[in-house]
Amino acid sequence: MPAPDDAPLLQSALRADALLMGNTVHLWADAHVFERMLYGWGLQQRSRHLQEMTVLARNRIVRQFQRYSNAFPWAWSPIDLEEFVTVLRAERQVTYSTVRSYQNAIRLFGDYILDSRYGWSEVCAERFGARPAQVCNEWNTVQHRSEFEGRPEHRSLTRVEVQQLLDHADEEVASCRRRGRKGWLAAFRDATVLKVIYAYGLRRREAAMLDVADLGPNPHAPTFGGFGALQVRYGKAVRGGPPRRRTVLTVFDWIPDVLKQYLDVARPQYGDTATPWLWPTERGARLSPAAIDLRFARWRGELGWATHIGPHALRHSYVTHLVEDGARALRVAAGCDAVLRRGRGGASRQIGAQHDTALSPDPPMSTRH
């Protein structure tokens, strides 16, 4: 982020001459201009309210391309990009979507420095005798032609696999308690997290950011008591917008008992009951998405599953299993139409924003847990 003494730069409309701080002469002028380009590009992206993680990732990609080409933007050519991508595919076996994200970052950086409103082209012509050019074109970049660009081996878990995972998690808790190990509390919490991810079709961050107050009743399903609906407040943002909110209604009849047991037995033992977080840690912090990954990876290894299976497979499984259960289970609130339409069997159906089953007089869906 810009330092306090950089305020004049922001007031100068972020033009190149302002970012370069006048006529100051630098020993490594080319490296200095490149750094100021990246700095101005970062300010532009933050002005659009993009996530800091997105800004830093794009910055890292452009730096990586610069190191590979051993040249600066005013000397880049399309062949540099083509060789760069070829090496990425050969050495790192990157996926289709990764290649597209790399090319997109380099394209956006090129659009920024070529924009006459920022003046970088004139600066390069004056100082280095060359102007930058866009190295990405329709002939050397991949196109976004498919909704699903992940690896083909990524799939939803079967019901047997989901049951196997949840049973293994429960056995871990029971084993730790029998041996008197204090790790049973964290295992209890993490087992409940995975059950919630599956039962409500959540992403890792959506699950990690839940508070106790996000649990609430559904007047159309009174049998669930205070666990009839879940407020998701940190859904995936779109194009620099704020986190999207949605309400996911309970459809599995076993999840209310799971949550009630966790809130009555495990969570109070973390001490600070005033903390609003649904998943506190022993250190008084909120459970992180990375911690969910680590726990899932451990149990995945103990089950002998392939390493490409992650917690997100539970979200796909949620949608797939609802689709498999018939038309009344098609209307779900998972917050991602592409995932919903795909499912495991490639079903292409229009998915709505509420659960038909939770709103209908029919009994709720049940799966063994």
- Sign of the four-CA dihedral 150, 153, 154, 155: positive
Mean pLDDT for the stretch of residues 255-261:
96
Sign of CA dihedral 300, 302, 303, 306: positive
Query: pTM value?
Result: 0.74
**DSSP track, 153-191:** T--PPPHHHHHHHHHHHHHHHHHHHHTT-TTHHHHHHHH
Please tell me which residue, 10 or 315, carries the higher pLDDT value: 315
pLDDT average, residue stretch 279-290: 91
Q: Are 240 and 48 in contact (CB under 8 A)?
A: yes
Lowest mean pLDDT among 2-6, 75-79, 179-183, 301-305: 2-6
Token duo for residue 96: 């289709």
Please report, for the chain, the start and end positions of each structural domain, with discontinuous segments joined by +.
4-128, 159-359
What is the three-class DSSP state of 135? Answer: coil
Fold of 159-359: hpI Integrase; Chain A (1.10.443)
Residue 194's nearest CA partner among 325, 369, 333, 344 is 369
Residues 12-50 have pLDDT tens digits of: 335 776 676 656 666 688 999 999 999 999 999 999 989
Give me 109's structure tokens. 């950086």
- Give the burial string for 206-230 (b: 16+ CB within 10 Å, else e): bbbbbeeebbeebeebeebeebbbb
